[in-house]
Structure 1
Amino acid sequence: MTTEEAPFLYEVLLGFLMSRNPGFNDDQQVPFLSAPTVVVPRDPFEAQLLEQEGVGYTAVPDDRSSLTQQAIHLAATMCSMVLFARNRRHNGLQLQNAIRFLACGVSDRVNDYLHKLGLTSSRETALDTLRSLSEKAEYNLTQVSLLEKCPGLGPFICIDNLDMQEKVHMSSVGHETSMFHGTWGYVQIPTKGLLDTLDLGKLNLSAYQEAIKNVPSMSIDPQLFMPTPEAEDHYYLVWISQIAQVMNEYIAVPSDKASAMKTEPPVVEQISNEIPSIYMLKLMDESDDSADGIGQVLEAVQQQTGLTPEEFAERLQPMDGDLATIQNFNSIRDIRDPSSYADHALNNVVFQLGAAHTLWNISQTILTAHMGDPSNENDLGAWQLFQSLGISHEKVLQKKDFTLMIQQMEQLHKATLYHCLRVIMKTDEDPVDIEPKTIATDQWNEIVIECYERFCSPKARDNASRMKSSKLNNLLVRLQEFSTVIEANNAMKSGDIGRLLNVWKMWSVMSQALKGLTHYSSYLPRLVLLLTHILPPCLGKLLRHNLLFSPSGRPGHFVAKDQFLENQNYWLKFFYNRGGIGTEVQRLKNLFSMNIILLRGMFHSMQVDSGKKRVHQSHKNKLTLQSLQMFCRMANGKDILNTDQTNIGLNQLKKEDSYKQGLKKFGTEIQTKDEHLGRLRLHFPKASNEEEVNIDAEEEPGVEQDM
């Protein structure tokens, strides 16, 4: 626009603005618009919001380049204002500002003032634009869902519940404060790189039905969840890498890193970091968290795809959700069984547990099992260690921030390994120093291996379990079970689904013994069997490789699909609460929900246009010197490794290894209840004459901890 509609005005304004730059040469060619330099948010709330996406902003120094860029932006903006005042059809900048001002909470009064200045369009124009964008998004969604695109396999659909309160200041009949219960999600298209490695002729409903037809008569052996020799060797390297990381970060670095123990375990099955195509669904109503509610959601999803119920049921439809969603889906499918109508039976839908919700819930259960008794000062449960790190144990188990809980568990795990390494090196009484020193590589490797053999190996746990005091046993069991949480989290970030499945197999056994995982003890083993043994290789790989993806396309920055949706939920609530346009859920459904990715991008662009630089960052979970000093003081005073045989903590209840206890639970169930482990075969599509085993009779009572 500046070069075609008002080139003279642009050059005059730019020349005037550039004259303040001492280094500017009048004979120099006047630059035209180029890519803007980017911006950093300073609002703590916004910083927390951006942290979830691994995005940060850095201020650009006031050098000649930044001043030039600022002058270019100002000149272009002023030209746009003049052209808009002359002809309202020249409104590209104004439309962009109108939409992002709406999303970022600019009030109607301020927007009207900026409209008079020619910086933005009217609020009505912004709403009309969002309506047009929503219509376009709905059309795009129907196009990617066409049967002609892929007649045998539907695009992946991820859904999650979304609850928010509609506040009304002045109540009246039919107009009062209420809680909105809804479901939201997105459609994800498998990447071309993945599809090129698969036989598309084997990715259909017939292949799925053929694979599961023998499941009702299948005899399940707990050996299927046991690690193979290769998996055992790999988990040894996982342990070595976790110890080596702590050694490398806080104690010493090897003189020759090439021959040192690796700080990252080997790759097992890597997912491509190709950016997937994502299409947001419109926010849907859900009457309640029940079978009827999920029925309404599935009908709404089918309508948004533009397919008839019969067409929707013709092909295999993979979906992702949390445990409660899958339970409700299984309930409605069981209620409708038997059914002679494919669209009524829902046998074409295959649900996968969300990897993030699985991590959060099982991690919380493991942490709860090891928290200990805070009312007993001599109790050496995890609460004692958290307190020494300056972390309040009351806040660790809150459900508001599971990411923070995982980070705090990792800090406790690292601090414990740090103390173990100091004991191995006989420096546990020395002053704490976190500046790594350089030592010989052979010595460095020996320390890491000795730490594993003495504190992290199965033999070490077995020896500790035979001791009269349970102090060391409890700590080593906690180290082992926390290591699975750390490994699962690291595997998800790196996009290694093979490593994640190795942990899921361990959790499938551990969940049999951990209290509070009644339903996960059936649903997680069932999913592991589906992905690793029941489905044919092509279909299994397709489902496995769509549990995680990299939104930015960067290696090492993968997220679970349900975690990505949680982030979008956070953005939607942010725009909802700060929209400055009232708390109208209908407006949120019709205008915001399908455009959330666009609105999020415009939110970021405001920082970009302010003259700051956007950077992608990885948040390192580092321990401070003061935290390690306090931890080591507590560890030595309480003798947590029982090296001095002190009397502190001798009367603790012994913590059993949940993996060993899980194997025993499997054995007891096979001997006394069901030798075929029939509860792990439930909820697969079946013929109408097949018998359903009563899940209530087979599952143990307990309190589920799903969100």
Structure 2
Amino acid sequence: MLTFACNRRHNGLQLENSIRFYACGVSETVNEYLHYLGLTSHRKTAVHALRSLACEAQDKIASCMAISTDVAPILCIDNLDMEERIQIATVGKQNRMFHGTWGYIHIPSSDLMDSLNPNDLTLTAYHNALKNVSSLVIDPNFFLPNDDDQEHHKLVVKSQIVQVMYKYVARPSHPKGRHPLHPPEVELISHKKPEIHMLKLMNESDNSAEGIGQVMDALQHQTRLDPADFFGRLQLIDGDLGTAQIFNAIRVLRSPSEHCDHSLNNISFTLGAAHTLWNIAHTILTYHFGNSGSMDDLGVWRYLEALGIPPEKVAQKKDFTKMLQYMEQVHEATLWYCLRDVMGHHDTVIQEELPIIPTAKWNYMVDKCYDRFFSHEARRAARGFPKLSNLLTRLQDFSTVIEANRAMKRGDIGRLINVWKMWSIMTQSLPGLTHYSAYLPRLILLLTKILPPSLGKLIRHSILVSPSGRPNHFVAKDFLLETHNYWLKYFYTQGGIGTQIDRLQALFSSNIPTVSHWLLICNFPEGSDYCIYKQLRTMFDSLRLDSGAKHIQQSHKPLLTLRGLERFQQMAQSNGILTINSSSGAPAPVEIKNTYIQGLILLQEEISTKANELGRFTMHLPFDEQCESYPSDPEDQAEPKGEPNKSPSIRSGSPSQYSMDED
């Protein structure tokens, strides 16, 4: 403090504090008082430092995008809407809604790139793979599990039963020899901390083809590349379904292009794993939610109410993380009651201390629970009994959501793709997922059948990242972007320091990175360099560390309380959720169709009645001649008579091959 008071150029600590206080929402009045005490620099100095950091971040973006010649760093973008409020409205100064797009670039790790074949990552290899789509035979077996997948799915469901058994029912006498708590790994991603650089917040007029065109131009401008260089190489982009649809719309409008380097055929969109999970899980929840106005209804709302969770708040599209946690609680509570019924303990008093039983008996109860509630024979026997059939169908559907969520946290992209294959069938019959019923199978075909092996592996291993570099702490890249959106959209605006959109664009958007940036290099009298290696979020999180405390990153896991289990048991016993018939006087429930079997039936009908209907699975794939010279005369562009458009072939198969008797 004395050194800073004597010479304001000795401001390493003060400048760090000024940016820290700016990032933590300290008001300007408090900052002025701390500046008067010599603990921090002036707020204008912090703003100037952030502006310099933003320029450095933009230079870093340009240098990273200019390194690769074949495959550019992967982009991840998402829409960002916020309202800029004005306290006193005047002419030309009104409340306005800002529509923008934000994202980051993800540079794959060197270990991953070394394991790939460079010849498969070229633009030529990508085009050659897409040209083969016209002759691709789409076989429904691409989305059906083989024998190994079925056995793995059985182990997945058993692992869910095992976890409930271990946490809430009983413990084995010897851990060795019991069923594992986690399913076998399929294709695990490295948990190395990713290298990510944030882009500058971009303007977008609206969610239309014109708006996505503005975003593409803004991305090209931030990379400081010529249009021919930016659009003339393979560019992988992660985004949600809506962004992919709008991009495909503008690509259709620009096709054909006389300049292939300026076209959008070299850009490949990948669906964000988090948005896919959220939307499909919400649809499954709504499908089984039931009628909360009927007291005889046994939909999910009744289970949520028994656990003390307000049902009306779960179905809202506001907090998808809590929605997944509530679905997991309902699923585990149902499994808990099923296990107690299998063991004959449904009438016993629930105790906090779990009993210890022999390991062989412990495994036998898990196997018996699976055979009774998850096997093909159990679902076949429940046909004609809507009450029990609806419960088994919900257990099957919810198990896919739980598995997808756990596979993403584990970083096992192989397990996640297995769930996506099941969802590709289920979305054919689930209401409200018309676009996912085509885009999700299209993504699976790209990753497993169409793209070269190394390029497919690059995309698969870039869908999930571990921001902290720890195993079992993976998130989807679009989920990571949503987290940064929260900091930009809510924290800084509600703190009163970032309510101006221009300030968010110029100062904050580029300074909320996942990787750290150099903040300051200042010279001390001895001539040594004082380096501060911080970021805005790091400064916020390191308050406890710098004050001498310990910062612990918590992993929030949904747990069932003893009181919640007691209330759930009362509800389950009073309604007889595991019985075949309804209670006396109660109307018979309407049987909910198995979405997986219904999806297979619809696929079989499409194959048998419409030969090229499954061509929608390859819709919007630019598998035409990428760089051919298109005729300038519109009449010459007309399709020659007698030469129909090329479309993927469909392998129909016999009815016995795709039996609808069981899933």
- Mapped partners of 1:97, 1:410: distance in 2: 42
| Structure 1 residue 343: Cα displacement | 4.2
Q: Paired residue for 1:642, among 569, 574, 579?
A: 579
| Structure 1 residue 537: Cα displacement | 1.1
Question: Equivalent residue for 1:12?
Answer: none
| Structure 1 residue 385: Cα displacement | 0.9
Q: 2:124 is matched by which residue type in structure 1? A: S
1:584 lines up with 2:500 in the alignment = yes
Q: Paired residue for 1:381, among 299, 324, 339?
A: 299
Superposition pairs for residues 519-598 of structure 1, below 5 Å? 519-581=435-497, 583-597=499-513, 598=535
| Structure 1 residue 434: Cα displacement | 4.0
Q: 1:354 is matched by which residue type in structure 2? A: G
Deviations 1:310-341 (A, max 9, x none): 00122210000000000000000011111122
1:362 lines up with 2:280 in the alignment = yes
Alpha carbons 1:160, 1:185 under 8 Å: kept: yes
Query: Normalized against structure 2, the TM-score is what?
Result: 0.90
Kindly tell me: are residues 191 and 692 of structure 1, through their superposed partners in 2, closer, same or farther at Cα, counting changes over 3 Å? farther
- Mapped partners of 1:407, 1:345: distance in 2: 43
Aligned residue for 2:344, secondary structure, equals: coil
| Structure 1 residue 646: Cα displacement | 3.7
| Structure 1 residue 172: Cα displacement | 1.5
1:313 lines up with 2:192 in the alignment = no
| Structure 1 residue 109: Cα displacement | 1.8
Structure 1 alignment gaps of length 5 or more? 1-80, 695-707
Q: 2:594 is matched by which residue type in structure 1? A: D
Question: Equivalent residue for 2:172?
Answer: 254
- Mapped partners of 2:397, 2:537: distance in 1: 38
Question: Equivalent residue for 1:94?
Answer: 14
Question: Equivalent residue for 1:141?
Answer: 61
Deviations 1:252-307 (A, max 9, x none): 11112120011100000000001111000000000001111111111101111111
- Mapped partners of 2:235, 2:537: distance in 1: 29
1:615 lines up with 2:533 in the alignment = no
Aligned residue for 1:612, secondary structure, equals: coil
Alpha carbons 2:210, 2:250 under 8 Å: kept: yes
Q: Paired residue for 1:154, among 51, 54, 72?
A: 72
Question: Equivalent residue for 2:211?
Answer: 293
Question: Equivalent residue for 2:92?
Answer: 174
Question: Equivalent residue for 1:602?
Answer: 539
Question: Equivalent residue for 1:655?
Answer: 592
Kindly tell me: are residues 129 and 315 of structure 1, through their superposed partners in 2, closer, same or farther at Cα, counting changes over 3 Å? same
Question: Equivalent residue for 2:342?
Answer: 424
1:83 lines up with 2:3 in the alignment = yes
Kindly tell me: are residues 291 and 692 of structure 1, through their superposed partners in 2, closer, same or farther at Cα, counting changes over 3 Å? farther
Superposition pairs for residues 656-695 of structure 1, below 5 Å? 656-675=593-612, 677-687=614-624
| Structure 1 residue 400: Cα displacement | 1.2
Aligned residue for 1:188, secondary structure, equals: strand
- Mapped partners of 1:204, 1:653: distance in 2: 54
Identity of aligned residues (%): 54
Kindly tell me: are residues 113 and 645 of structure 1, through their superposed partners in 2, closer, same or farther at Cα, counting changes over 3 Å? closer
Question: Equivalent residue for 2:660?
Answer: none
Aligned residue for 1:159, secondary structure, equals: strand
Question: Equivalent residue for 1:196?
Answer: 114
| Structure 1 residue 610: Cα displacement | 2.9
Alpha carbons 2:123, 2:234 under 8 Å: kept: yes
Alpha carbons 1:152, 1:316 under 8 Å: kept: yes
Alpha carbons 2:127, 2:623 under 8 Å: kept: no
Deviations 1:527-546 (A, max 9, x none): 01100111121111110000
Question: Equivalent residue for 1:631?
Answer: 568
Q: 1:498 is matched by which residue type in structure 2? A: G
Alpha carbons 2:84, 2:95 under 8 Å: kept: yes
- Mapped partners of 2:582, 2:364: distance in 1: 26
Q: 1:589 is matched by which residue type in structure 2? A: Q
Kindly tell me: are residues 575 and 93 of structure 1, through their superposed partners in 2, closer, same or farther at Cα, counting changes over 3 Å? farther
Question: Equivalent residue for 2:427?
Answer: 511
Superposition pairs for residues 51-62 of structure 1, below 5 Å? none
Alpha carbons 2:582, 2:588 under 8 Å: kept: no
- Mapped partners of 1:659, 1:434: distance in 2: 38
| Structure 1 residue 215: Cα displacement | 1.1
Question: Equivalent residue for 1:478?
Answer: 394
Aligned residue for 2:79, secondary structure, equals: strand
Kindly tell me: are residues 282 and 437 of structure 1, through their superposed partners in 2, closer, same or farther at Cα, counting changes over 3 Å? same
Alpha carbons 1:322, 1:354 under 8 Å: kept: yes
- Mapped partners of 1:265, 1:647: distance in 2: 42
Aligned residue for 2:279, secondary structure, equals: helix
- Mapped partners of 1:579, 1:89: distance in 2: 29
| Structure 1 residue 650: Cα displacement | 5.3
Q: Paired residue for 2:155, among 212, 237, 255?
A: 237
Question: Equivalent residue for 2:47?
Answer: 127
1:222 lines up with 2:140 in the alignment = yes
Alpha carbons 1:186, 1:281 under 8 Å: kept: yes
| Structure 1 residue 612: Cα displacement | 2.1
Kindly tell me: are residues 116 and 376 of structure 1, through their superposed partners in 2, closer, same or farther at Cα, counting changes over 3 Å? same
Give the count of matched residue pairs: 610
Segments ≥4 residues shifted beyond 4 Å = 688-694
Deviations 1:205-232 (A, max 9, x none): 1111111112133231211100111110
1:326 lines up with 2:244 in the alignment = yes
Q: 1:229 is matched by which residue type in structure 2? A: D
1:442 lines up with 2:363 in the alignment = no
Deviations 1:27-75 (A, max 9, x none): xxxxxxxxxxxxxxxxxxxxxxxxxxxxxxxxxxxxxxxxxxxxxxxxx
Alpha carbons 2:272, 2:477 under 8 Å: kept: yes
- Tell me which moved more, 641-650 or 501-510: 641-650
Alpha carbons 2:71, 2:122 under 8 Å: kept: yes
- Mapped partners of 2:253, 2:473: distance in 1: 41
Alpha carbons 2:212, 2:247 under 8 Å: kept: yes
- Mapped partners of 2:217, 2:226: distance in 1: 10
- Mapped partners of 1:96, 1:265: distance in 2: 46
Aligned residue for 1:300, secondary structure, equals: helix
Deviations 1:678-697 (A, max 9, x none): 11111011337788899xxx
Kindly tell me: are residues 614 and 397 of structure 1, through their superposed partners in 2, closer, same or farther at Cα, counting changes over 3 Å? same
Deviations 1:493-537 (A, max 9, x none): 000000000000000000000001010000000001100111121
Q: 1:111 is matched by which residue type in structure 2? A: N
Alpha carbons 1:221, 1:676 under 8 Å: kept: no
Deviations 1:155-205 (A, max 9, x none): 000000111110001111211001111100000000111112111232121
Question: Equivalent residue for 2:129?
Answer: 211
- Mapped partners of 1:134, 1:575: distance in 2: 19
Alpha carbons 2:134, 2:646 under 8 Å: kept: no
Alpha carbons 1:471, 1:650 under 8 Å: kept: no
- Tell me which moved more, 432-441 or 683-692: 683-692
Question: Equivalent residue for 1:397?
Answer: 315
Aligned residue for 2:82, secondary structure, equals: strand
- Mapped partners of 1:613, 1:560: distance in 2: 27
Aligned residue for 1:179, secondary structure, equals: strand
- Mapped partners of 2:438, 2:165: distance in 1: 38
- Tell me which moved more, 516-525 or 425-434: 425-434
- Mapped partners of 2:553, 2:78: distance in 1: 27
- Mapped partners of 1:538, 1:479: distance in 2: 37
Q: 2:158 is matched by which residue type in structure 1? A: I
Alpha carbons 1:219, 1:677 under 8 Å: kept: no
Alpha carbons 2:188, 2:414 under 8 Å: kept: yes
Alpha carbons 1:239, 1:483 under 8 Å: kept: yes
Alpha carbons 1:216, 1:681 under 8 Å: kept: no
- Mapped partners of 1:235, 1:582: distance in 2: 48
Kindly tell me: are residues 693 and 416 of structure 1, through their superposed partners in 2, closer, same or farther at Cα, counting changes over 3 Å? farther
Q: 2:55 is matched by which residue type in structure 1? A: E
1:184 lines up with 2:102 in the alignment = yes
- Mapped partners of 1:161, 1:375: distance in 2: 36
